[in-house]
Amino acid sequence: MDVLAVLSMLSGGLSLFCLLALHFVSPEFHPSWRMISEYALGKYKGLLSAFFFLWGACTILSGLLLWNVVDSIWASIGVIVLFISGLGAIMGGLFDIKHPKHGLSFMLGVPTLPLATLLIGYHLLGQEGWSSYRGILLFSAHTPWISLVLMGGAMALLFSGFKKAGYPMGPDVEAPEKLPEGVIPLAGYANRLLVLCYLIWPILVAFLKMNLA
């Protein structure tokens, strides 16, 4: 049994469990338009930190798992980028939404993973054994950047709605208790879809690696 693969899947699964639990213990943050990071403003900040730490652990463990699997420069760069993404996720647990470094955590953790999945995913397609999983590898490698684009569009739609409703925007402005009239609530769902896509990829890769061992 590949210990790294098991640990990667376990940490990823626990991360998703923590996120699911937050929806039940903090129902005041409506998932349609409130971001996951906003759970830090509630009573269960520790559970949110655990979510981020486990997310980062899952990503980094998958990188360690793949380090000796890949054998090209570009794929190796992809694994390094994967480590950076995992570091960003861990920083998300250390620096909450009110911390000045929360934005840096996002920049390290979120835009990097789609690059890593594409560099690594296409490389794995050329390796014996992995090529038999071509369809699922391609799908899982592309869903991160697709989910990122969808979240960007949903966020733009949300901010546009707030502006039209006359609600002030800015890092020091607290979110309203209720969604203003006319604002389309999709950004929260897109945020959660992104996390799901970002965690499914390392979990899937770990699962396939264990089956190929």
Residue identified by tokens 């945020």 is 191
pLDDT at residue 171 in the model: 62
Cβ neighbors of 144 (< 8 A, separation 6 or more) are 113, 114, 117, 194, 197, 198, 201
Q: What is the 3-state secondary structure (H, E, C) of the chain?
A: CCHHHHHHHHHHHHHHHHHHHHHHHCCCCCCCCCCHHHHHHCCCHHHHHHHHHHHHHHHHHHHHHHHCCCCCHHHHHHHHHHHHHHHHHHHHHHCCCCCCCHHHHHHHHCCHHHHHHHHHHHHHCCCCCHHHHHHHHHHHHHHHHHHHHHHHHHHHHHHHHHHHCCCCCCCCCCCCCCCCCCCCCCHHHHHHHHHHHHHHHHHHHHHHHHHHC
Residue identified by tokens 């190929």 is 212
d(CA 86, CA 92): 10
Q: Is the dihedral of CA 191, 84, 117, 13 positive or negative?
A: negative
Angstrom CA distances, 153 to 30, 156, 181, stand at 19, 5, 19
Encoded tokens for 27: 């129902």
pLDDT at residue 183 in the model: 87
Mean pLDDT score of the chain, rounded to an integer?
94
pLDDT at residue 180 in the model: 79
pLDDT at residue 170 in the model: 63
pLDDT tens by residue, 148-191: 999 999 999 998 888 887 777 666 667 777 887 888 889 999 99
Considering the entire predicted model, what is its pTM? Answer: 0.94
Residue identified by tokens 């998300």 is 92
pLDDT at residue 172 in the model: 66
Positions in the chain whose pLDDT score sits under 70? 1, 169-173
pLDDT at residue 1 in the model: 60
